[in-house]
């Protein structure tokens, strides 16, 4: 179940209006006005919630991070920058992206959600999905076609942690692989995958299905484990009105 926006838990959403992070400076009944930043942030986080973006990534954005100087020439960063910069062409060509690294906390999910949010700003529909949730839905739902069609309706889709180990001797796992392959072949819109393993690491697996279905429509990028992103003071810059919450 998608977690709804909880106003009681997010009291730090109106810095431009003067919130002190404990109380709103403007009243909730005034939120319908476009000039109210509380309304903008509430709408934005509501949409992020509906898109199933993890709470930890609501306030993390590609443009709000400063990278170490030696990272700026890295291939993966250059290519992700292009992917975001040309998001309209990416959609037109249904170009997918595969981000992988065997290390934790190097930015795979961060980059994926940043791409989703850039697509959102351009008016595209977005959705974030961990593969384990896809697996569970396929295993228990009675109307699989309806579920797959609902996913296919989103313009941009992230499938996180695609490198889940499946057992080909289990009927449920075979069913999931077959339906996942069918879904990929029917979809002509971008997907961003994250994984610990490269596409060529295994045969007869989810990764081999992705590779065989998307072929030239997917770009594989290794996220260098030696290069971790360093956040700048995001909230302080918002408080000083140097950056709009919604671009």
pLDDT at site 50: 92
Q: For 169, which DSSP code? A: T
pLDDT at site 20: 43
How buried is 201 (Cβ within 10 angstroms: 0-12 exposed, 13-18 middle, 19+ buried)?
Answer: middle
How buried is 164 (Cβ within 10 angstroms: 0-12 exposed, 13-18 middle, 19+ buried)?
Answer: middle
pLDDT at site 235: 39
Parts of the chain with a pLDDT under 70: 1-41, 63-73, 167-169, 201-204, 225-247
Round the CA-based radius of gyration of the chain to a whole number and report it: 19
- Residue pair 192/26 in contact (Cβ under 8 Å)? The answer is no
């Amino acid at each position: 179940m998608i977690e709804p926006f909880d106003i009681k838990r997010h009291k730090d959403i109106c810095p431009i209006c003067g919130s002190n992070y404990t109380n709103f400076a403007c009243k909730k009944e005034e939120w319908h006005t476009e000039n109210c930043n509380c309304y903008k942030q509430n709408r934005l986080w509501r949409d992020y919630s509906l898109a199933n973006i993890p709470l930890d990534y609501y306030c993390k954005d590609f443009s709000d991070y400063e990278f170490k100087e030696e990272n700026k020439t890295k291939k993966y960063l250059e290519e992700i920058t292009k992917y975001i910069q040309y998001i309209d062409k990416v959609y037109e060509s249904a170009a997918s992206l595969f981000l992988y690294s065997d290390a934790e906390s190097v930015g795979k999910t961060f980059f994926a959600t940043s791409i989703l949010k850039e697509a959102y700003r351009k008016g595209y529909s977005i959705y974030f999905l961990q593969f384990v949730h896809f697996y569970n839905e396929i295993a228990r739902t009675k109307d699989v076609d309806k579920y797959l069609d609902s996913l296919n309706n989103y313009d941009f889709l992230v499938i996180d942690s695609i490198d889940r180990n499946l057992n080909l001797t289990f009927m449920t796992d075979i069913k999931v692989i077959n339906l996942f392959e069918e879904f990929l072949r029917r979809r002509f819109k971008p997907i961003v995958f994250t994984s610990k393993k490269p596409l060529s690491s295994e045969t007869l697996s989810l990764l081999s299905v992705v590779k065989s279905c998307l072929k030239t429509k997917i770009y594989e990028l290794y996220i260098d484990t030696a290069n971790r992103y360093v956040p700048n003071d995001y909230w302080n810059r918002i408080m000083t009105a140097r950056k709009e919450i919604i671009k």
